[in-house]
C-alpha cells in the first residue's frame, strides 16, 4: 500500500467517518452545552466574588482568596476526580455531566475573580471618592463608575482564560461524560483505527477556532485606544 493510501486508511478512512460521524456530532453538542454553562456560571460567580471582595470584609476576603488560590493551583483533572469519586463517600452522588460543569465553573470563577479584582483595583481611588462625593451610594459607584472601566480592562485576559478552561471539557472523558474526546476514544477502541481520533481533533478545531477568532476580535474591540 502506498504511503498516501496508508495515511488515508489510518487517519481518514471513509467508511469509519460515515459510521462514527453521528457520535462525534453528538459529542460536539455535549461539549457546547457544558462550555456555555461553564462560561455563564464561572464568569458570573467570579464577578460576584470580586464585588464581594471589594467590600473589604476581612474574613470574607480571606475565604475568597483561599478559594481562588486553591482552585487555580490544583489541576482541574484532580478536582474532577476528587468530586466525582470522593463525594459519594459522604453520600453525595452527582452525575458526571454535573461534576464537570461544577468543577470547570469553579475553576473559571477563581481565575475570573482575580481578573475582575485586578480590574477593580486599576480604577484610581480618586474616582471612587469623587463618585461618592456626588451623592452616589457605594453600589451606584461600583455599577456606574468603577465596573464599566474595570470590565473593559479585563476583557482580554478573561477571554483567554475562558477559552483555555472551556477546552478542559475533554476531561469529561475520564468520568464518562459523552463529549467529543470520549466519543472519539470509544470509537477508536472499537475500530482499531485512528480515524475517530482525527475526527475528534477536527471537531475541536471546528468548535474552538471560531471562539479563538472571536476572542481576538473582542480583545481588539475593547482595547484602550492609544495616542
CATH classification of the domain holding 31: 1.10.3720.10
Q: How many domains would you assign to the chain?
A: 1
Q: How is residue 73 written as a grid cell?
A: 493551583
**Residue 24: inside a domain, yes or no?**
yes
Alpha-carbon distance values, 177 to 31, 38, 169, 222 (Å): 9, 15, 9, 36
**Residue 109: inside a domain, yes or no?**
yes
pLDDT confidence of 2, banded at 50, 70, 90? low
Give residue-wise pLDDT tens across range 96-150: 999 999 999 999 999 999 999 988 888 887 787 787 788 888 778 888 888 888 8
Residue showing cell 460515515 = 18
Check if the beta carbon of residue 117 is closer than 8 Å to that of residue 50. yes
Q: What is the pTM of this model?
A: 0.86
- DSSP for residue 194: S
Segments forming the whole domain that contains residue 96: 20-221
**Residue 130: inside a domain, yes or no?**
yes
**Residue 105: inside a domain, yes or no?**
yes
**Residue 123: inside a domain, yes or no?**
yes
**Residue 9: inside a domain, yes or no?**
no
Give residue-wise pLDDT tens across range 61-76: 999 999 999 999 999 9
Residue showing cell 482552585 = 71
151: burial class by Cβ within 10 Å (0-12, 13-18, 19+)? middle
Amino acid at each position: 500500500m502506498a504511503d498516501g493510501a496508508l495515511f488515508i486508511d489510518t487517519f481518514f478512512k471513509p467508511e469509519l467517518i460515515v459510521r462514527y460521524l453521528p457520535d462525534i456530532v453528538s459529542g460536539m453538542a455535549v461539549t457546547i452545552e457544558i462550555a456555555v454553562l461553564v462560561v455563564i456560571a464561572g464568569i458570573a460567580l467570579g464577578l460576584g466574588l470580586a464585588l464581594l471582595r471589594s467590600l473589604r470584609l476581612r474574613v470574607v476576603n480571606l475565604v475568597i482568596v483561599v478559594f481562588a488560590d486553591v482552585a487555580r493551583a490544583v489541576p482541574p483533572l484532580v478536582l474532577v476526580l476528587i468530586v466525582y469519586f470522593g463525594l459519594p463517600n459522604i453520600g453525595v452522588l452527582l452525575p458526571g455531566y454535573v461534576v464537570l460543569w461544577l468543577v470547570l465553573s469553579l475553576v473559571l470563577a477563581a481565575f475570573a475573580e482575580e481578573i475582575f479584582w485586578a480590574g477593580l483595583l486599576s480604577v484610581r481611588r480618586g474616582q471612587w471618592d469623587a463618585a461618592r462625593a456626588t451623592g452616589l451610594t457605594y453600589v451606584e459607584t461600583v455599577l456606574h463608575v468603577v465596573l464599566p472601566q474595570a470590565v473593559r480592562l479585563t476583557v482580554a485576559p478573561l477571554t483567554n482564560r475562558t477559552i483555555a478552561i472551556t477546552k478542559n471539557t475533554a476531561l469529561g472523558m475520564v468520568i464518562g461524560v459523552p463529549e467529543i474526546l470520549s466519543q472519539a476514544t470509544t470509537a477508536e477502541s472499537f475500530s482499531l483505527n485512528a480515524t475517530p481520533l482525527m475526527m475528534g481533533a477536527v471537531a475541536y478545531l471546528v468548535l474552538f477556532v471560531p471562539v479563538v477568532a472571536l476572542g481576538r476580535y473582542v480583545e481588539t474591540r475593547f482595547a484602550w485606544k492609544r495616542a
